[in-house]
Amino acid sequence: MKMQLKRYLGSLVFVFLLCLSIALGSTAGVLFVYNSDLPQVSSLEDYRPSLITEVFGDDGQIIGSFALERRIVVTWDQIPQVVKDAIISVEDQNFYEHWGIDFYGIARAGLKNLMAGRVVEGGSTLTQQLSKNLFLTPERSFRRKIQEAMLSIQIERYYTKPQIFTLYCNLHFMGHGQYGFAAAAEYYFNKDLKDLNIEEAALLAALPRSPINYSPITHPERAITRRNYAIDRMVAEKKITVAEGEEAKSHPIQLAPKKRPDELAPYFVEELRRYLERTYGTFAVHEGGLKVYSTLNVNMQKAANAAVRQAMREYDKRHGWRGAERNLPNEGLTDLYAVELPDWKLPIRTNDIVPGVILDLTPTGATVKIANYQAQLTPQDIAWTRAKSASDILNRGDVALFMIRSMSSADRKVEVTLEQKPKVQGGLVAIEPKTGEIKAMIGGYDFDESKFNRATQALRQTGSSFKPFVYAAAVDNGLRPDDLIVDAPVSFGNYSPGNYDGKYEGTIPIRRAFAQSRNIPAVKTLAKLGVLNLIPYVRRFGITSRIEPVLPIALGAADVTLVEMVSAYSTFPNDGVRVEPQLIRRVTDYDGNVLEENLPKLHDVIPAQTARIMVDLMQEPVRGVGGTAAKAQELKRPVAGKTGTTNDFTDAWFIGYTPSLVAGVWIGFDEKVTLGDKETGGKAALPAWIELMQQVYKDKPVEQFETNPVLTTAAPETAPAAIDVVSSQPAPQIKK
C-alpha cells in the first residue's frame, strides 16, 4: 500500500514538474517571440520628441510657431513638487518602489473594477504608459500588454526614476493639441508649470486617462469631478492635508480666458514658413524645435496692422453701405434676446469689431445686442452710410458688425459705430535701409480668408511710383532738379500720353513736374534716355519682374511686387547702396547650433551723388507746390516719397522714407477692377503710411537726410552735359 502511494506521489510530482516545464518553456517561448521585435530602450538616450519651432521678433518676443505637436520640454528640476505629487497620487502610487510593473496596483485596480462593475481605475504604471506612448500602438491585445510589461522592465533597468518621470511629463497628450504638462499649463491656465496651485496641478494630473472626455473646455462637469478625485487621491497619499484638499475642491475651475484671434504678423510668419521648409525640410520646421530669430519689429507691426486696416475700412466706407450680413428672423430665429453668436464667446474689448444683433429700431436709432451688452445706435454712429436713420439701412434681427468705442461693465452698456468688412485688399512692407531688415509686413485684410500675400506675390502696375527710376537714370546723365522741361501735348507715333488733370503747364522745373507727378515730362525724359537703356538700369535696383520695353513704363505700366518696390526705394536714403531685404537674422537648432546667420548683402546701385539728388527731388511731392503727398507734412519731419495711381484707378500706391525707414503701401482689389473715381495713391494709400510713421516716430527726435549743396545745385565737372529735355536730341547711353 505504501509502495503504491509512493509511486502515485512520484507520478504526480513528475506530471507537475512536466507541466511546470511545459508552462515555463511556453512562457519563455512566448516572451522570446514577443521580445524579438521589441525596440531597444537604450535608444531613449537619443530620443527627442516632436518640438515646437519658435519664431522671435527683433526684440526676442515670440511672434509665431510651427508644430505638429505643441510641446514645451521641461527638466526634472523644473517640475514643481505639487505636480509630481498630483501625478504620482493619481497614476502610480508605488512609482518609486516598483520595477516597472506594480502587481499590487494591478490587484487593487482589479478589485475596484470588479466591485464597481466597470473600469474605474487602471493598473498601468507610469513606466508602462511611457512605453506604450513611445514604442507601441494603442491596440488592446494580450500581445501588446506583454510587450508593454517587458519594455517597462527594460526601461526601469536603463533609466532612473527622475528620467522616466520627466519623459512622461513631456510626452503625454493633454488634449486640444497640447503635449506635455508644461504646454497644458500654459494652454489651460496661461501659467508656467512652476506657478500651478493644488487644484490646477490635480486637474492636469487627471487628464492623461482621457484628455478628450475630461477636457475642462468641452466637458467642465466631468473635468471638475475628475479633478476632485485627483485631489482626494493626493489627500489619501498624504501629499496634502485634508483641509488643503477641501479648500482646493471648493474652487471652481479657472481657465485662462479665450483670446480673440489677433495674430500679429501672419503673412510674415507664413513667408518664413515657406522659406524654412524649402531650406531645412518639413520635419525640421514642424518637429525639430528650431529657433528662428527674425527681423520683424513687434511695435512697428502692430502700428502697421492698425494703419492699413483702418485705411481699408475708411476706403470701404467712402463707397457706401452694402447691407447687413444676415437676418435672423429670415432664418427662423425669432427670440432675438436669447440669440448667442459664436463670436461672443471670446472676450470683447474696446476697439474690437464684433457682430451685433438689432433688437429694435427707434425713430432716431436702434438697440443693439452684443453678447450680454446693449448699445444704442445713434445717427452719428451710422453717419458714414449717409442714411437719415437706422431704419433706412437696418431691419430688426439684422446681424451687422460694430466697433466697440467704450464699455461699461457696471450697467452692461457699450458705445459702438456701425462697420462692415472691407472687400478691398491692401499690403504694406517696411524695410530698414541700412540693414535690409523687413520690420513689418501685411499681405491682406484677413489671413484666415486669404493666405495670398499681396506684399510678395501680387504683381501690380506701379503707376507714378515708378517715375523715380526714370529720373534717377536721367540724373545719372546730368539732369538736375532745377532744369526745365516742357509740359505740353506730345505724340510718339501711336502713343500720346496725357496728364492726370488734363492740363498742361508749359515750361516748368523738373522739381515741379515731379511734385505734381506730371506724366508728359516723365515720358519725355524716358524717350530722351531710351527705353532699352532704362530696363537694365532698373534691374540694378533689385526689380526682377518682367518689364516691357515701351514708353508707358515711365508711368508705371510694369507689374512689380510691393516688396521689390520698397527694396528698390531703400537705395535712395542709403546713398545709392541697396541692401537685399531679409526676414531672418539667425536660425539655430534645438541644441543652439547656428544653422544660418544672415549679414547684410550690399549692392552698389547708383552713385551717392545721384542718390542725394533723388532724395532732394523726392521730397518735392511732400513740400512742393501742389505736391501729390502734401498731406505727409503732418509728420513735421523730413520725408521723401512718391504716390502711384494706375489707369482706371485700379491700384493706389505710396512709397516713402525717412533716413532710417522705407515703407510702401498698396491698396486695390484682387480682380484688378477700379477703386473708384479719384481714388489715387494720395487718397487711398498715403493715409496708412502717415499713420504708420506717426506711431513709429512718436516722441523720437527728428532725423535729417544727408545733404550736400554742391551735389544738388550743379553737375560735377566730370559728369556729361545735362540732358536738354526741352529740345529733341539723340538719347544718351546711361552709365552702367
Nearest to 317 by CA among 413, 414, 401: 401
Q: What is the CA radius of gyration of the chain?
A: 36
Place of cell 467642465: 220
Name the burial class of residue 593, with classes exposed (0-12), middle (13-18) and buried (19+) by CB atoms within 10 angstroms of its CB.
exposed
Q: What are phi and psi of 215, to 5 degrees?
A: -60, 125
DSSP 8-state class, residue 248: H
CB atoms within 10 A of CB 36: 7
DSSP 8-state class, residue 518: -
How far, in Å, CA of 280 to CA of 376, rounded? 55
> For 64, what's the count of Cα atoms within 13 Å in the CB-facing half-sphere?
24
Catalytic one of 89, 91, 199, 620: 91
CA distances, 539 to each of 460, 542, 546 (Å): 17, 5, 10
How far, in Å, CA of 604 to CA of 735, rounded? 13
Name the burial class of residue 191, with classes exposed (0-12), middle (13-18) and buried (19+) by CB atoms within 10 angstroms of its CB.
middle
Catalytic one of 124, 131, 294, 464: 464
How far, in Å, CA of 539 to CA of 547, rounded? 10
Contacts of 290 (CB under 8 A, 6+ apart): 53, 54, 276, 280, 284, 587, 588, 589, 590, 595
Residue 69 C-alpha from the chain's centroid: 18
How far, in Å, CA of 39 to CA of 61, rounded? 40
Contacts of 253 (CB under 8 A, 6+ apart): 199, 203, 216, 220, 223, 224, 227
The four Cα atoms 450, 455, 456, 462 give a dihedral, to 10 degrees, of 120
State the DSSP string of 38-92.
Answer: PPPGGGGGG----B-EEEE-TTS-EEEEE-SSEE----GGGS-HHHHHHHHHHH-
91 is catalytic: yes
3 state SS of 651: strand
Residue 151 C-alpha from the chain's centroid: 42
Q: Degrees (nearest 5) of the Cα angle 643, 602, 548?
A: 45
* Strand pairing report for 53-56 and 460-461: unpaired
Number of helices (H) and strands (E), helices first, in the chain? 22, 24
Contact 490, 680 (CB under 8 A): no
Catalytic residues: 91, 464
